Structure 1
Amino acid sequence: MAVPRLFAATSIVSAVAVGALLAGCSASVNVEKPELKMSAEKLANLVAEKLAATANQPKPNVTCPEDVPAKVGTTTRCKLTADDGSTLGVTATVNSVEGTKMNFDIQADETPTPAPS
């Protein structure tokens, strides 16, 4: 029984470390002009790439619930799911739009949610 708990604790510590590293990160991406929004899948990929680069780790599993319009101040909550099932919330906020380029601030929560038992 101690081994699964140790593994879960290690995964949660890793998720917290990723969260600590992401404080104040930002990223940008070009979007298609007709819809002037970014798809949920594209945003999830952008967030995952930023997390991986910041933490020098493999790209994590990130999902975002909805497409994001190219409007400054628009915020969405994405979710990083660790291999053990624990999760970490990530907020992505549009901080500027330059033509078809959207710039985001990405902020991870400080505390992960443990995996269901």
Structure 2
Amino acid sequence: MPLIRLSATTSLLTAVAAGALLVGCSAEVKVEKSTPKLSSDKLATTVAEKLAARTGQAKPNITCPEDLEGKVDTTTRCKLTADDGSTLGVTVTVTGVDGNKINFDVKADNTPTPAPS
């Protein structure tokens, strides 16, 4: 019977997918317009911090392609990239807005995408 070994990267992605399928988050933002926005950089940092706290793993490399607009049910897709180049999609959904505070949930995909060959 063959022995299957998981790399540390695969273990990290598995931990994120299993342990952080849904994480509630919020962030303070500076209101310059009638609708608050959270910059893509701040969103990526907040998501990474929340996933790290939830899984007990090191802070993952998260990138978000766009700012998050503070309107309920607005979504954006971010990406967690592991050291070996494999990725895991992360959906961020706005659940509420209270003044300049945007509350959102984070849901990681169940299956990572392997690194390109």
For normalisation by structure 1, the TM-score amounts to 0.89
* 1:14-68 residue CA offsets vs partner (Å, 9 max, x unmatched): 2022111112211001111114101000000010001110111111110000011
**Paired residues of 2:12 and 2:57 also in contact (CA < 8 A):** no
- How many pairs does the alignment contain? 112
Percent of residue pairs bearing the same amino acid type: 57
Q: Match for residue 108 of structure 1?
A: 108
**Structure 1 counterpart SS, 2:11:** helix
Over the aligned positions, Cα root-mean-square deviation in angstroms equals 1.6
Deviating above 6 A after TM superposition, structure 1's stretches of 4 or more consecutive aligned residues are none
Amino acid at match of 1:103: N
Q: 5 Å matches for 1:67-78?
A: 67-78=67-78
Amino acid at match of 1:60: P
1:39 is the counterpart of 2:39 = yes
Runs (5+) with no aligned partner, structure 1: 1-5
Could you say which structure has the higher helix fraction?
1
Of stretches 92-101 and 22-31 in structure 1, the one that deviates more from structure 2 is 22-31
